[in-house]
Structure 1
Amino acid sequence: MKRAVIIGGGLGGLSAAITLGNNGYDVTVLEKNNHFGGKLMPVQLGSHYFDFGPNTITMPHIFQEVIEQTGEKATDYFQYIKLDTHTRNFFSDGTIFDLSGNKGIMVNQFSKLDPNARYEAFLTEIERLYELSAVHFLPRTFTSWRDYLSPSLTKALLQVRPLQSLDHFFHMYFHHPNILQAFNRYATYIGSSPYAAPATFAMIAHLELTQGVYYVKGGNTKIAEAFVKVAQKLGIKLHTATEVTSILTENKQVKGVVANGEHIDADVVIMNADLLQAYPSLVAEQERPSFSNKKVATYEPSISAFVILAGLNTRHKNLLHHNVFFSSDYKQEFAQLFMNKQYASDPTIYICNSSHTDPDVSPEGDNFFILVNAPSTENKENHPPAKEYKEHIYNILEQKGLSIRSHLINERIITPTDIEETFSAYKGALYGISANKRQNAFLRPFNQSKDIHNLYFVGGTTHPGGGSPMVTISGMNVAREIVKQQKTL
Structure 2
Amino acid sequence: MKTAAVIGAGIAGIATSIRLANKGYEVHVFEANTYPGGKLSSFELNGYRFDAGPSLFTMPQLVDELFRLSGKDPKAYFDYIRLEEVCRYFWDDGVRLTAHADQQKFAQALEQTLGVPAQDVLEHLDDSALKYDVTEKLFLHRSLHKLGTYFNRDALKGYANLHRLDAFTTMNRANERRFSNPRVVQLFNRYATYNGSNPYETPATMNIIPHLEYNIGAFFPKKGMVDITDSLVKLAQDLGVTFHFGTKVTNILTEDNQVKGLQLTNNGKVEERTFDVVVSNMDVVNTFRKLLPNARQPERILRQPKSSSALIFYWGVKKQFNELELHNIFFSNDYRTEFEHLFQKKTIYSDPTVYINITSKYKPDDAPAGGENWFVMVNAPNNEGQDWDALIAQTREAIVQKLSHNLGVNLAELIECEAILDPRTIESKTSSSQGALYGNSSNNRFAAFLRHANFSRQFKNLYFVGGSVHPGGGIPLAILSAKIATAEL
Q: With structure 2 as the length reference, what TM-score do the two structures score?
A: 0.94
Letter paired with 1:15: A
Letter paired with 1:462: V
Is 2:302 the partner of 1:262? no
2:95 maps to 95
CA RMSD of aligned residues (A): 1.8
Q: Deviations over 1:410-440 (max 9, x none)?
A: 2101111111111111111011111002222
Q: Tell me by how many angstroms 1:7 deviates.
A: 0.3
2:445 pairs with 419, 438, 450, which one? 438
Identical-pair percentage = 36
Equivalences for residues 196-275 of structure 1 within 5 A: 196-260=201-265, 261-275=270-284
Q: 1:382 to 1:28 in 2, by over 3 A?
A: closer
Q: 1:314 to 1:86 in 2, by over 3 A?
A: same
1:390 pairs with 380, 386, 396, which one? 396
1:460 pairs with 443, 467, 470, which one? 467
Is the contact between residue 310 and residue 380 of structure 2 (CA under 8 Å) also seen in structure 1?
Answer: yes
Q: 1:253 to 1:40 in 2, by over 3 A?
A: same
Equivalences for residues 319-338 of structure 1 within 5 A: 319-338=324-343
1:184 pairs with 182, 189, 201, which one? 189
CA distance in 2, matches of 1:155, 1:270: 35
Is the contact between residue 67 and residue 74 of structure 1 (CA under 8 Å) also seen in structure 2?
Answer: yes
Q: 1:155 to 1:247 in 2, by over 3 A?
A: farther
Report which stretch shifted further, 151-160 or 197-206. Answer: 151-160
Q: Tell me by how many angstroms 1:142 deviates.
A: 3.6
Q: Deviations over 1:252-282 (max 9, x none)?
A: 1111111112112111111101111222110
Is 2:296 the partner of 1:288? yes
Q: 1:278 to 1:312 in 2, by over 3 A?
A: same
1:378 maps to 384
Is 2:374 the partner of 1:368? yes
Q: Tell me by how many angstroms 1:36 deviates.
A: 1.0
Is 2:58 the partner of 1:58? yes
Is 2:138 the partner of 1:136? yes
Q: 1:396 to 1:358 in 2, by over 3 A?
A: same
Q: 1:255 to 1:155 in 2, by over 3 A?
A: farther
Is the contact between residue 43 and residue 50 of structure 2 (CA under 8 Å) also seen in structure 1?
Answer: yes
Is the contact between residue 301 and residue 433 of structure 1 (CA under 8 Å) also seen in structure 2?
Answer: yes
CA distance in 2, matches of 1:156, 1:4: 40
CA distance in 2, matches of 1:124, 1:396: 34
Is the contact between residue 448 and residue 470 of structure 2 (CA under 8 Å) also seen in structure 1?
Answer: no
Report which stretch shifted further, 417-426 or 45-54. Answer: 45-54
CA distance in 2, matches of 1:148, 1:378: 38
Letter paired with 1:414: L
Q: Deviations over 1:182-240 (max 9, x none)?
A: 11110000000111111112111011011111110121110111111111111111111
Is the contact between residue 50 and residue 367 of structure 1 (CA under 8 Å) also seen in structure 2?
Answer: yes
Q: Deviations over 1:445-467 (max 9, x none)?
A: 11111212211111111111111
SS at the partner of 1:317? coil
Letter paired with 1:267: D
SS at the partner of 1:193? coil
CA distance in 2, matches of 1:154, 1:35: 44
Is the contact between residue 351 and residue 398 of structure 2 (CA under 8 Å) also seen in structure 1?
Answer: no
Q: 1:382 to 1:9 in 2, by over 3 A?
A: closer
Report which stretch shifted further, 6-15 or 437-446. Answer: 437-446
Is 2:422 the partner of 1:404? no
Q: With structure 1 as the length reference, what TM-score do the two structures score?
A: 0.94
Aligned residues: 478
Report which stretch shifted further, 156-165 or 131-140. Answer: 156-165
Letter paired with 1:277: N
Is the contact between residue 29 and residue 237 of structure 1 (CA under 8 Å) also seen in structure 2?
Answer: yes
Report which stretch shifted further, 148-157 or 422-431. Answer: 148-157
CA distance in 1, matches of 2:67, 2:163: 34
Q: Tell me by how many angstroms 1:472 deviates.
A: 0.7
2:124 pairs with 106, 122, 128, which one? 122
1:347 pairs with 345, 348, 352, which one? 352
Is the contact between residue 34 and residue 246 of structure 2 (CA under 8 Å) also seen in structure 1?
Answer: yes
Letter paired with 1:390: R
Gaps of 5+ in 2: none
CA distance in 1, matches of 2:121, 2:277: 48
Is the contact between residue 116 and residue 181 of structure 2 (CA under 8 Å) also seen in structure 1?
Answer: no
Report which stretch shifted further, 13-22 or 174-183. Answer: 174-183
Is the contact between residue 138 and residue 149 of structure 2 (CA under 8 Å) also seen in structure 1?
Answer: no
Q: Tell me by how many angstroms 1:155 deviates.
A: 4.8
Report which stretch shifted further, 262-271 or 372-381. Answer: 372-381
